[in-house]
Structure 1
Protein backbone atom coordinates (compact mmCIF):
# COMPACT_ATOMS: atom_id res chain seq x y z
CA UNK A 1 0.00 0.00 0.00
CA UNK A 2 2.87 2.40 0.83
CA UNK A 3 4.52 1.90 -2.56
CA UNK A 4 1.16 2.30 -4.29
CA UNK A 5 0.54 5.62 -2.53
CA UNK A 6 4.03 6.82 -3.42
CA UNK A 7 3.43 5.92 -7.05
CA UNK A 8 0.11 7.76 -7.07
CA UNK A 9 1.70 10.79 -5.41
CA UNK A 10 4.54 10.97 -7.94
CA UNK A 11 2.12 10.52 -10.84
CA UNK A 12 -0.05 13.35 -9.50
CA UNK A 13 2.95 15.65 -9.08
CA UNK A 14 4.14 14.93 -12.63
CA UNK A 15 0.68 15.82 -13.97
CA UNK A 16 -0.06 18.89 -11.86
CA UNK A 17 3.36 20.54 -11.63
CA UNK A 18 3.62 21.63 -15.30
CA UNK A 19 -0.06 22.64 -15.32
CA UNK A 20 0.26 24.86 -12.25
CA UNK A 21 3.59 26.33 -13.43
CA UNK A 22 2.11 27.17 -16.83
CA UNK A 23 -0.99 28.76 -15.27
CA UNK A 24 1.14 30.88 -12.91
CA UNK A 25 3.45 32.03 -15.70
CA UNK A 26 0.57 32.96 -18.01
CA UNK A 27 -1.29 34.67 -15.17
CA UNK A 28 1.78 36.73 -14.26
CA UNK A 29 2.20 37.85 -17.88
CA UNK A 30 -1.48 38.66 -18.31
CA UNK A 31 -1.62 40.57 -15.01
CA UNK A 32 1.49 42.52 -15.97
CA UNK A 33 0.05 43.55 -19.34
CA UNK A 34 -3.35 44.14 -17.80
CA UNK A 35 -1.88 46.91 -15.64
CA UNK A 36 -1.12 49.02 -18.71
CA UNK A 37 -4.68 50.33 -18.57
CA UNK A 38 -3.57 52.33 -15.53
CA UNK A 39 -1.38 54.45 -17.81
CA UNK A 40 -4.50 56.10 -19.22
CA UNK A 41 -5.88 59.22 -17.50
CA UNK A 42 -8.36 58.33 -14.76
CA UNK A 43 -11.23 59.95 -16.65
CA UNK A 44 -10.54 57.78 -19.71
CA UNK A 45 -10.27 54.45 -17.93
CA UNK A 46 -13.16 52.17 -18.93
CA UNK A 47 -13.86 51.14 -15.33
CA UNK A 48 -14.93 54.71 -14.59
CA UNK A 49 -17.75 54.75 -17.13
CA UNK A 50 -18.52 51.02 -17.09
CA UNK A 51 -18.97 50.98 -13.33
CA UNK A 52 -17.10 47.68 -12.91
CA UNK A 53 -13.66 46.21 -13.56
CA UNK A 54 -13.28 44.24 -16.78
CA UNK A 55 -10.44 41.66 -16.59
CA UNK A 56 -8.26 41.38 -19.67
CA UNK A 57 -9.04 44.88 -20.92
CA UNK A 58 -5.47 46.02 -20.22
CA UNK A 59 -4.14 43.06 -22.23
CA UNK A 60 -6.31 44.08 -25.18
CA UNK A 61 -5.21 47.69 -24.74
CA UNK A 62 -1.52 46.61 -24.79
CA UNK A 63 -2.04 44.59 -27.97
CA UNK A 64 -3.77 47.52 -29.68
CA UNK A 65 -0.98 49.91 -28.65
CA UNK A 66 1.75 47.56 -29.94
CA UNK A 67 -0.03 46.95 -33.26
CA UNK A 68 -0.80 50.66 -33.72
CA UNK A 69 2.81 51.60 -32.96
CA UNK A 70 4.11 49.01 -35.42
CA UNK A 71 1.70 50.19 -38.13
CA UNK A 72 2.69 53.81 -37.54
CA UNK A 73 6.41 53.06 -37.59
CA UNK A 74 6.07 51.14 -40.86
CA UNK A 75 5.32 54.26 -42.92
CA UNK A 76 7.09 57.52 -43.72
CA UNK A 77 5.14 59.66 -41.26
CA UNK A 78 5.81 57.25 -38.38
CA UNK A 79 9.52 57.14 -39.14
CA UNK A 80 9.67 60.93 -39.10
CA UNK A 81 7.85 61.09 -35.75
CA UNK A 82 10.13 58.40 -34.36
CA UNK A 83 13.16 60.36 -35.53
CA UNK A 84 11.90 63.50 -33.77
CA UNK A 85 11.29 61.56 -30.55
CA UNK A 86 14.74 59.96 -30.67
CA UNK A 87 16.37 63.35 -31.22
CA UNK A 88 14.71 64.55 -28.00
CA UNK A 89 15.83 61.44 -26.09
CA UNK A 90 19.34 61.91 -27.49
CA UNK A 91 19.66 65.15 -25.48
CA UNK A 92 19.02 63.38 -22.15
CA UNK A 93 22.32 61.88 -20.88
CA UNK A 94 21.19 58.94 -18.72
CA UNK A 95 17.97 58.16 -20.59
CA UNK A 96 19.86 58.28 -23.89
CA UNK A 97 22.23 55.49 -22.83
CA UNK A 98 19.44 53.24 -21.54
CA UNK A 99 17.23 53.81 -24.58
CA UNK A 100 19.96 53.18 -27.13
CA UNK A 101 21.12 50.03 -25.35
CA UNK A 102 17.63 48.57 -25.12
CA UNK A 103 16.87 49.51 -28.73
CA UNK A 104 19.97 47.74 -29.97
CA UNK A 105 19.12 44.66 -27.89
CA UNK A 106 15.57 44.57 -29.28
CA UNK A 107 16.76 45.02 -32.87
CA UNK A 108 19.40 42.31 -32.45
CA UNK A 109 17.20 39.73 -30.73
CA UNK A 110 13.99 40.18 -32.72
CA UNK A 111 15.48 40.94 -36.11
CA UNK A 112 15.23 38.16 -38.69
CA UNK A 113 18.80 38.92 -39.75
CA UNK A 114 20.24 38.77 -36.25
CA UNK A 115 22.05 35.71 -34.90
CA UNK A 116 21.65 36.48 -31.19
CA UNK A 117 20.16 33.62 -29.15
CA UNK A 118 19.77 31.48 -32.27
CA UNK A 119 22.83 29.27 -31.79
CA UNK A 120 23.46 26.94 -28.87
CA UNK A 121 27.08 26.52 -27.85
CA UNK A 122 29.01 24.32 -25.45
CA UNK A 123 31.92 25.87 -23.57
CA UNK A 124 34.15 25.09 -20.61
CA UNK A 125 32.82 27.28 -17.80
CA UNK A 126 33.43 28.22 -14.99
CA UNK A 127 36.70 26.27 -15.24
CA UNK A 128 38.46 23.75 -17.42
CA UNK A 129 36.86 20.33 -17.26
CA UNK A 130 33.33 21.64 -16.57
CA UNK A 131 31.07 22.17 -19.57
CA UNK A 132 27.94 24.27 -19.81
CA UNK A 133 25.49 25.48 -22.42
CA UNK A 134 25.44 29.03 -23.71
CA UNK A 135 23.85 31.12 -26.44
CA UNK A 136 25.86 33.14 -28.91
CA UNK A 137 24.93 36.83 -28.70
CA UNK A 138 27.47 38.30 -31.11
CA UNK A 139 31.08 39.15 -31.71
CA UNK A 140 33.30 40.81 -29.12
CA UNK A 141 34.38 44.44 -29.72
CA UNK A 142 37.50 44.85 -31.84
CA UNK A 143 39.39 46.35 -28.87
CA UNK A 144 38.99 43.09 -26.94
CA UNK A 145 40.19 41.09 -29.92
CA UNK A 146 43.20 43.39 -30.16
CA UNK A 147 44.12 42.97 -26.49
CA UNK A 148 43.67 39.20 -26.45
CA UNK A 149 45.14 38.58 -29.90
CA UNK A 150 42.25 36.22 -30.62
CA UNK A 151 38.87 36.29 -32.31
CA UNK A 152 36.45 36.44 -29.39
CA UNK A 153 32.71 35.90 -29.24
CA UNK A 154 30.19 37.05 -26.63
CA UNK A 155 28.20 34.22 -25.07
CA UNK A 156 25.29 34.36 -22.67
CA UNK A 157 25.46 31.61 -20.04
CA UNK A 158 22.04 31.22 -18.35
CA UNK A 159 21.52 30.02 -14.79
CA UNK A 160 19.31 27.18 -13.61
CA UNK A 161 16.33 27.02 -13.23
CA UNK A 162 15.78 30.66 -14.25
CA UNK A 163 17.41 31.23 -17.67
CA UNK A 164 16.54 34.95 -17.65
CA UNK A 165 19.46 35.53 -15.27
CA UNK A 166 22.99 34.58 -16.16
CA UNK A 167 26.44 35.76 -17.18
CA UNK A 168 27.96 37.28 -20.29
CA UNK A 169 31.37 35.83 -21.06
CA UNK A 170 33.80 36.40 -23.89
CA UNK A 171 35.40 33.26 -25.22
CA UNK A 172 37.80 32.35 -27.99
CA UNK A 173 35.91 31.18 -31.08
CA UNK A 174 38.20 28.14 -31.26
CA UNK A 175 37.14 27.08 -27.75
CA UNK A 176 33.40 27.13 -28.51
CA UNK A 177 31.61 23.97 -29.63
CA UNK A 178 28.54 24.74 -31.80
CA UNK A 179 25.63 22.34 -31.27
CA UNK A 180 22.75 21.32 -33.53
CA UNK A 181 20.46 21.45 -30.49
CA UNK A 182 17.47 23.80 -30.93
CA UNK A 183 17.24 26.77 -28.59
CA UNK A 184 13.96 25.43 -27.14
CA UNK A 185 15.59 22.10 -26.28
CA UNK A 186 18.52 23.85 -24.61
CA UNK A 187 16.14 25.96 -22.52
CA UNK A 188 14.25 22.83 -21.46
CA UNK A 189 17.52 21.23 -20.40
CA UNK A 190 18.49 24.31 -18.38
CA UNK A 191 15.10 24.89 -16.75
CA UNK A 192 14.77 21.21 -15.78
CA UNK A 193 18.27 21.29 -14.21
CA UNK A 194 19.41 18.67 -16.71
CA UNK A 195 16.58 16.23 -16.05
CA UNK A 196 15.08 16.63 -19.54
CA UNK A 197 17.14 15.70 -22.58
CA UNK A 198 16.30 16.83 -26.12
CA UNK A 199 14.00 14.37 -27.89
CA UNK A 200 15.92 11.61 -29.63
CA UNK A 201 19.14 12.39 -27.77
CA UNK A 202 20.24 9.31 -25.87
CA UNK A 203 23.31 9.34 -23.63
CA UNK A 204 26.34 8.06 -25.51
CA UNK A 205 28.17 5.09 -24.06
CA UNK A 206 31.29 6.08 -22.14
CA UNK A 207 34.44 4.07 -22.70
CA UNK A 208 36.48 3.71 -19.50
CA UNK A 209 40.07 2.63 -19.72
CA UNK A 210 40.68 -0.13 -17.17
CA UNK A 211 44.27 1.05 -16.77
CA UNK A 212 43.23 4.53 -15.74
CA UNK A 213 44.25 5.21 -12.11
CA UNK A 214 41.37 5.33 -9.67
CA UNK A 215 39.02 3.35 -11.92
Structure 2
Protein backbone atom coordinates (compact mmCIF):
# COMPACT_ATOMS: atom_id res chain seq x y z
CA UNK A 1 0.00 0.00 0.00
CA UNK A 2 1.49 3.32 -1.04
CA UNK A 3 1.53 6.34 1.23
CA UNK A 4 0.19 9.28 -0.80
CA UNK A 5 0.72 11.97 1.85
CA UNK A 6 3.06 14.66 0.59
CA UNK A 7 6.37 14.96 2.45
CA UNK A 8 7.31 18.30 3.91
CA UNK A 9 10.52 19.84 2.67
CA UNK A 10 13.50 19.57 5.01
CA UNK A 11 13.56 23.34 5.59
CA UNK A 12 9.92 23.30 6.74
CA UNK A 13 10.57 20.44 9.15
CA UNK A 14 13.65 22.21 10.51
CA UNK A 15 11.68 25.43 10.98
CA UNK A 16 8.84 23.60 12.77
CA UNK A 17 11.28 21.78 15.04
CA UNK A 18 13.09 25.04 15.82
CA UNK A 19 9.82 26.79 16.69
CA UNK A 20 8.71 23.87 18.88
CA UNK A 21 12.07 23.97 20.69
CA UNK A 22 11.78 27.73 21.12
CA UNK A 23 8.31 27.38 22.62
CA UNK A 24 9.65 24.79 25.05
CA UNK A 25 12.90 26.58 25.99
CA UNK A 26 11.72 30.22 26.14
CA UNK A 27 9.66 29.95 29.36
CA UNK A 28 12.48 28.07 31.08
CA UNK A 29 15.11 30.57 29.97
CA UNK A 30 12.96 33.58 30.90
CA UNK A 31 12.24 32.10 34.36
CA UNK A 32 15.93 31.47 35.01
CA UNK A 33 16.86 34.95 33.80
CA UNK A 34 14.18 36.68 35.91
CA UNK A 35 15.18 34.69 39.00
CA UNK A 36 18.86 35.45 38.51
CA UNK A 37 18.12 39.14 37.89
CA UNK A 38 15.93 39.35 41.01
CA UNK A 39 18.60 37.68 43.15
CA UNK A 40 21.29 40.09 41.95
CA UNK A 41 18.96 43.09 42.34
CA UNK A 42 18.11 42.16 45.94
CA UNK A 43 21.76 41.46 46.70
CA UNK A 44 22.74 44.90 45.39
CA UNK A 45 20.23 46.51 47.78
CA UNK A 46 20.98 44.46 50.90
CA UNK A 47 24.69 43.62 50.65
CA UNK A 48 26.00 47.15 51.42
CA UNK A 49 24.28 46.99 54.83
CA UNK A 50 25.75 43.63 55.86
CA UNK A 51 28.72 44.08 58.21
CA UNK A 52 31.98 42.68 56.80
CA UNK A 53 32.33 40.18 59.63
CA UNK A 54 28.95 38.62 58.70
CA UNK A 55 29.54 38.72 54.95
CA UNK A 56 30.91 35.36 53.76
CA UNK A 57 32.63 37.09 50.84
CA UNK A 58 35.07 38.54 53.37
CA UNK A 59 36.28 35.02 54.12
CA UNK A 60 35.82 33.33 50.75
CA UNK A 61 37.40 34.14 47.41
CA UNK A 62 34.08 34.02 45.55
CA UNK A 63 30.68 35.67 45.68
CA UNK A 64 27.63 33.85 47.02
CA UNK A 65 24.66 34.96 44.94
CA UNK A 66 21.48 35.19 46.93
CA UNK A 67 23.09 35.87 50.31
CA UNK A 68 21.60 39.36 50.37
CA UNK A 69 18.22 37.92 49.43
CA UNK A 70 18.50 35.39 52.25
CA UNK A 71 19.32 38.15 54.75
CA UNK A 72 16.37 40.23 53.45
CA UNK A 73 13.97 37.28 53.83
CA UNK A 74 15.19 36.62 57.38
CA UNK A 75 14.89 40.31 58.28
CA UNK A 76 11.37 40.55 56.84
CA UNK A 77 10.37 37.41 58.75
CA UNK A 78 11.71 38.87 62.02
CA UNK A 79 9.85 42.13 61.37
CA UNK A 80 6.67 40.13 60.72
CA UNK A 81 7.17 38.18 63.94
CA UNK A 82 7.72 41.36 65.93
CA UNK A 83 4.79 43.06 64.21
CA UNK A 84 2.41 40.33 65.29
CA UNK A 85 3.03 40.65 69.02
CA UNK A 86 1.80 43.43 71.31
CA UNK A 87 5.03 45.45 71.33
CA UNK A 88 5.33 45.24 67.57
CA UNK A 89 1.74 46.32 67.07
CA UNK A 90 2.28 49.38 69.25
CA UNK A 91 5.41 50.27 67.27
CA UNK A 92 3.50 49.88 63.99
CA UNK A 93 0.64 52.05 65.31
CA UNK A 94 3.13 54.71 66.41
CA UNK A 95 4.84 54.62 62.99
CA UNK A 96 1.51 54.91 61.19
CA UNK A 97 0.47 57.84 63.39
CA UNK A 98 3.69 59.62 62.41
CA UNK A 99 3.03 58.91 58.73
CA UNK A 100 -0.56 60.18 59.05
CA UNK A 101 0.80 63.63 59.95
CA UNK A 102 2.75 63.98 56.70
CA UNK A 103 0.50 65.14 53.82
CA UNK A 104 2.25 63.69 50.76
CA UNK A 105 3.65 60.64 52.54
CA UNK A 106 0.20 59.90 54.02
CA UNK A 107 -1.36 59.71 50.56
CA UNK A 108 1.36 57.44 49.20
CA UNK A 109 1.27 55.20 52.29
CA UNK A 110 -2.50 54.78 52.12
CA UNK A 111 -2.30 53.87 48.43
CA UNK A 112 0.47 51.34 48.98
CA UNK A 113 -1.15 49.85 52.09
Give the Å deviation of 1:30: 1.9
Q: Quote how far apart the aligned CAs of 1:50 are.
A: 3.0
Structure whose alpha-carbon radius of gyration is higher: 2
Residue in structure 1 matched with residue 26 of structure 2 by the alignment:
17
Q: Distance in 2 between matches of 1:50 and 1:36?
A: 21
User: TM-score with structure 1 length normalisation?
Assistant: 0.42
Query: Secondary structure in 1 aligned to 2:76?
Result: helix
Structure 2 unmatched ranges of 5 or more: 1-9
Aligned residues: 101
Cα distance, 1:34 vs. partner?
Answer: 2.1
Q: Which has the higher strand share?
A: 1
Structure-2 residue corresponding to 1:78? 88
Bigger helix fraction: 2
For 1:91, the equivalent position in structure 2 comes to 101
- Structure scoring higher RCO (CA < 8 A, sep ≥ 6) equals 2
What RMSD, in angstroms, separates the aligned Cα atoms of the two structures? 2.1
Structure 1 runs, 4 residues or longer, greater than 4 Å off: none
- 1:56 is aligned to 2:66: yes
1:1-215 → structure 2 map (5 Å cutoff): 1-38=10-47, 40=49, 44-45=51-52, 46=55, 49-50=58-59, 52=61, 53-103=63-113
- Change in 2 beyond 3 A, CA 1:51/1:3: closer
CA gap 1:49/1:27 in 2 versus in 1, 3 angstroms: closer
